[in-house]
Chains A and B, each alone.
Chain A
């Protein structure tokens, strides 16, 4: 065999050599902030056609010609600013100074009417202190639209209320991953993560989350 081979015990050596050689003759990948440096005809790392597209709503969209009904005739859907004020735990956060930055640019929580109605149901249940039932409503929504960022965020909010801080953070992160291109929702999620970390006594982590939130709040 004429080509080099990768032996298990020389990985570090190989890596060093490879890095050195590649830096001069081949490509070198950039770090998180830099683009891929290309030597010749490397395509720009812009979103390629073959790359995965942004998340589609999981609910199948009715095809043209299919009769569709709004949720309630005559009742236009009210986009709600997230998170719901009544769901915020009173006073266990120290983010009043950045609060205003978060609440800018309210986005519609979801473009799926079924999701919106279940979110509303969850909100009113949570407002009356029925957190378990509120969570059950959100889970019902997730069965219909599992990739809906607003549902994951709502569940994160409920878990936070329930004192399940790790779950709150996990779910907020899932919501962030699904909320690409929606800075308002991402910022809300980071704020939620900050609250969860603060509640766990992780002040440093909370501050990091607040920094993240600020990145998306501008």
Chain B
């Protein structure tokens, strides 16, 4: 151990006793100093080295969205690409010179991408040229070689940081990555003799003391960089002699243990450079992002010098709060550099004329996507302790698609406001939630937990459990269709009045939404129009226990009450479980657990954990195919037929509405060929909204799905399927000569209904004569194909022969 302060000159005492006494006193003092000082210095040494060594800094976990994959043919608008670049904090310039810059002319983009460490490979910075035409990426080329690129990954958008307990944040930089100008200027300004001294410079301390005494206050600091580093390690503004002494000793100790470059690098990462709410901004790496939204290596000279100037005191020189003061400080730095010969006069003049260039403060300490991050944290907690997440600098790659998230947020925010306005509801009374996932991979692409998507409060996608109403019915019908010899899409169901006596003695009489009973409906028409009584009968038929089993297979994990009311949606689940349920249906019975995380990588770039794609076939594909056909009809002629004008005509989708008692909850779940999404609209106080699934949630769903780059629904047809043309309202086969013919799939063993008798249907003047079941009659125009009016009550059926 060194004992730097303990060396005292020993002189032989004089002859006089006074001298002798003084000598003794001195020796005692030195002795005491050694007895107290050695342990003291020992303690300081342990403190300062342990801080410097090993786990020197707690690093937050960084969370990234999925990268944008660019390839010719990709659906991409210039607006969407610019949004992406904005989220990545790329700067729009006239001529692209360095990473993080782009220029755009018409649909032509010139982008200098930054390097990025993906879990599978390091991607170097690269200049690429993109051409967008007619809403698609027409070409993508490497700018240097002018050769086309098959597939290019943009760096992913960072969506969150999970901070350490002490709320310190850093972006570590290595000394050789730091722009030389910054280092040079820093040494000139803060510590000219850094490479000569041993940690402290008594002369400059003395000079500072004299200057301070003259002025009567602190005007000059005599601290070396090493002393400043120590001061930052144990942040305290105490200005006592003991404190100063400790700092000096620790500075000497640091210099004794480590070389100059190590100390300098530590300084660059440790220096306090600002405050973002509760989060302290440490080091030049993070300061660069915090003030300029750019990497340190991308900063211009005057921006680097501004940061150097701030090292003197970041709270006093806060460029956002005191731009004038900081500008003056920056200019002093420039002038010092001119005096020291680092900068020429001309170059300095250019820098002096430049603005500060500090960006508007972005809320970087809170995530923009709290609902999604909630899910990420939940899934991370299965594998990691909270402290690892907060300290180890883990990098988390997630499935979030920022563009889809953006469109989903827009849909929730705008449509809820529109619904309130159109219906004269109190503004702000409605709440909503929506999630989007990919069908085949179960990757959660977007999650909106409320109508203020930035608000990290109650997350309705995970924490809210509400009854799903008719959205449960597909599970009932799927259970039935899994028995093709008993049920097919045209199997007749009874929708007449039903009174059930429950085991507890209560009587339950479910009603239809339109308060009508529809006799002799078919499986498909009952689902398409969401008839309650027919659905209850069907559910009782197949067995409530079997419906519960089906719900479990589809992915519902919440508690299920196996009572008849379940068949109408007395099932309280959060939107994410509804999403899982419909994912399984959308993927032909292959359940894929919904994922928000793809991989977790450590600081060194080693992959710690992958979350691989897993699929499990939980329902045979054949009945799912039949169900999907019916759910597609729901969107064409059933309760969700509004989609016919809310979506582009070629975008085929399938789905189901859900509405609960007294119109408290409005749900819609549906899927295209590649995306599945669930929407809920209601009130937090669970009061009626006056909205059905169709007039509420469906509008939000459609507004989001309309904006997706998605593929129309083209269900995979099982080999065994046979097709027949039928009129689903009559429940009879048809040759297309009359009625409304739809091709329907049937499985082997199906019992077919009879043939629609066109001759009996056709009357003069294009009128159709439809005998009512009760003997009455009414006429329906054949040109009127609206499903509700064209629906006869018990038309002329061939199977009437065995009534």
Contact = CB atoms under 8 A, between A and B. Distances in A.
B674 A146 contact: yes
B776 to A, nearest CB: 12
Given A3-B803, A62-B138, A136 B120 contact: yes
Given A166-B616, A180-B716, A58 B748 contact: no
Interface string A132-155: 110111011011101100000001
- Chain B CB count within 10 A is highest, among A7, A19, A133, A170, for A170
B752 A11 contact: no
Given A66-B138, A136-B119, A36 B724 contact: yes
A36 B722 contact: yes
A7 B120 CA distance: 60
B723 interface: yes
A146 B440 contact: yes
Given A29-B750, A114-B151, A146-B440, A5 B496 contact: yes
A171 B615 contact: yes
A113 B120 CA distance: 21
Nearest to A39: B755
B717 A170 contact: no
B722 A29 contact: yes
B150 A167 contact: no
A22 B492 CA distance: 13
B723 A47 contact: yes
A108 interface: no
A48 interface: yes
A31 B749 contact: yes
Contacts of A62: 72-73, 136, 138
B44 interface: no
Given A2-B794, A52-B715, A155-B613, A69 B674 contact: no
A139 B597 CA distance: 13
A184 to B, nearest CB: 16
Contact of A143 (B69, B588, B715, B752): B69
Nearest to A173: B617
Nearest to B709: A60
Interface in B64-88: 66, 69, 71-75
Contacts of A4: 492, 799, 802-803
A11 B485 CA distance: 12
Nearest to B591: A170
A46 B721 CA distance: 10
Interface residues of A, number: 81
A214 interface: no
B797 interface: yes
A162 B716 CA distance: 28
Contacts of B163: none
Interface in B657-690: 673-674
A13 interface: no
Nearest to A140: B69
B718 interface: yes
Interface string B584-628: 000010100000001100000001001011111100010000000
B69 to A, nearest CB: 6
Interface string A49-85: 1111101101111110011111111000000000000
Contact of B798 (A26, A31, A72, A133): A26
A30 interface: yes
B733 A3 contact: no
A94 interface: no
Contacts of A174: 440, 590, 615
Interface string A9-35: 001000101110110011111111001
A98 B440 CA distance: 32
Given A47-B723, A146-B439, A146-B674, A42 B733 contact: yes
Contact of B717 (A18, A139, A142, A180): A180
B803 A43 contact: no
- Chain B CB count within 10 A is highest, among A29, A45, A68, for A29
A7 B802 CA distance: 15
B714 A53 contact: yes
A118 to B, nearest CB: 7
Contacts of B621: 177
B537 A142 contact: no
A60 B754 contact: no
Interface string A109-143: 00001100110000000000000110111011011
Interface of A: 1-8, 11, 15, 17-19, 21-22, 25-32, 35-36, 39-43, 45-53, 55-56, 58-63, 66-73, 113-114, 117-118, 132-133, 135-137, 139-140, 142-144, 146-147, 155, 166-167, 170-171, 173-174, 177-178, 180
Interface of B: 66, 69, 71-75, 119-120, 131, 133-134, 136, 138-141, 147-148, 150-151, 438-441, 443, 485-486, 492-494, 496, 519-520, 537, 540-541, 588, 590, 598-599, 607, 610, 612-617, 621, 673-674, 709, 711, 714-720, 722-725, 733, 735-736, 742-743, 745-746, 748-755, 773-774, 794, 797-803
24 contacts: A1-B496, A2-B773, A3-B520, A3-B797, A3-B803, A4-B799, A5-B519, A5-B520, A27-B751, A27-B754, A41-B755, A42-B755, A51-B745, A58-B674, A60-B74, A60-B709, A66-B134, A67-B139, A69-B140, A70-B148, A132-B610, A143-B441, A174-B590, A180-B716
Given A29-B752, A180-B716, 10 more contacts: A8-B537, A22-B751, A58-B673, A62-B136, A67-B72, A68-B138, A136-B598, A144-B69, A147-B674, A170-B617
Nearest first, the 4 A-B pairs at minimum CB distance are: A69-B148, A27-B752, A5-B494, A45-B722
